Amino acid sequence: MTQRLYIDVHVVQTVPPANLNRDDQGNPKEAVFGGVRRSRVSSQAWKRATRRHFDTQVPEPDRATRTKRIAQELTTRIARNTGLERDESARLAEALLAQLGLSQGKKASDTAYLLFYGNAQLDAVAALVADRATDLVALEEKALAEEVKRLPVVESFSTGHPVGVALFGRMVADIPKLNVDAAVQVAHAISTHETQLEFDYFTAVDDQNERGETGAGMIGTIGFNSATLYRYATVGFAQLVENLGGDTGAALDALDGFIGSFVLSAPTGYQNSFAHRTRPSLVSVVVRADQPVNLVSAFEEPVAAKAGIQAESARRLAVAYTDEARTWGDAPLYGAASHVFTTDEPRAKDTAEALTRAFGESVPFADLRTALRTHITSALGEEA
């Protein structure tokens, strides 16, 4: 059994005026923490951004898809593989998916919920009928259902999970046999300081206005705020290995890909309006054998603007990391960081020194990822 290891990822990232993740009123999501209102980006929003970024790094068959339209996707594959008409392919797809017991959605061809599956898994299901499609489609409904029952449809979705499903898991409340425990947990990102909701009043002028015609063709408002965010995620490495069928090498690749995508991704809400994409000022990775540790308590007292929010947020994170290890006496197995703070800048000097005490000298992000993989490989080697 793989040693119990948790890889915590801590990120401090400053975002300009933006509306990354809107609420039901169309305004940026918020939360009260430490007695003041903070900017918030939901874990679901950043997980989706991470997953979509991750998918750009892997071949299409190795990607995962989350949709209610699995029947349509399977129909397309069957039609492509067999040359059957689409209505005939749809009939086979319906018979195959009936083995899963999925609840039907409002549309006859949709499921009642989003189903997360691997593209290769769905390819495997389509291949189950590729050689017999013409014979199967000629059967009456009852005979077709009986024939399809003998095919390993459930097994195709229960094994060979793509990295996306292995990382983020799959929850199907009414079909426990399809569930996959997630290896990743992602916290809601919150600002390290108090934020205020602001509104952009905008107008759009009609380019075809007649001479002398005044007034806007459209007016409206968009809510926004700006924030330095604390972002946190953790990966249970043993669970990830299990989800990937015991393949430690694949788990190391998945971990590295997740860290890269989590750090470099961002939700795309109103991206064209605000061009809000930035990169973090601090990324730290911590390997623990006891439990994941979210360091958000470092920001329970909101950072004051006069302190230099970005630098003070990073300094507090470093101090919280050091204090947590000293207080509980269970120092992490490994910690390292990449950051932009240097002792050459007077305002950032304290931050740089605190980060060095906590994580050692800053290293480039690519080197951080390489060193993390080397450390985990070494730890697993010692276990063996």
- Tens digit of pLDDT for each residue in 181-236? 999 999 999 999 999 999 988 778 777 777 777 667 778 888 899 999 999 999 99
| Mean pLDDT of all residues in 175-180 | 87
**What pLDDT shows up at residue 215?**
67
- At 69-122, the pLDDT tens digits run 999 999 999 999 999 899 999 999 999 998 888 888 888 788 888 888 889 999
Q: What is the percent of the chain with per-residue pLDDT over 70, rounded to a whole number?
A: 97
- More confident: 44 or 380: 44
Helix pair angle (248-264, 365-383), 10° resolution: 150
| Mean pLDDT of all residues in 338-349 | 88
**Mean pLDDT, all residues of the chain:** 91
Do 175 and 153 form a contact (C-beta atoms < 8 A)? no
pTM of the model: 0.90
- At 119-174, the pLDDT tens digits run 999 999 999 999 989 999 899 999 999 988 999 999 999 888 999 999 999 988 77
- C-alpha neighbours within 13 Å on the C-beta side of residue 167: 30
CA distance 195 to 131: 61
CA distance 337 to 362: 5
β-partners of residue 184 are 235
**What pLDDT shows up at residue 382?**
61
Helix or strand (DSSP H, E) at 90? helix 86-97
CA distance 299 to 350: 17
Distances (CA, A) of 318 to 193, 322, 323, 345, 359: 17, 6, 9, 18, 8
pLDDT tier for residue 1 given thresholds of 50, 70 and 90: very low
Residue 41 phi/psi, 5° resolution?
-125, 120
**What pLDDT shows up at residue 381?**
81
β-partners of residue 37 are 32
Q: How many residues does the chain have?
A: 384
**What pLDDT shows up at residue 383?**
52
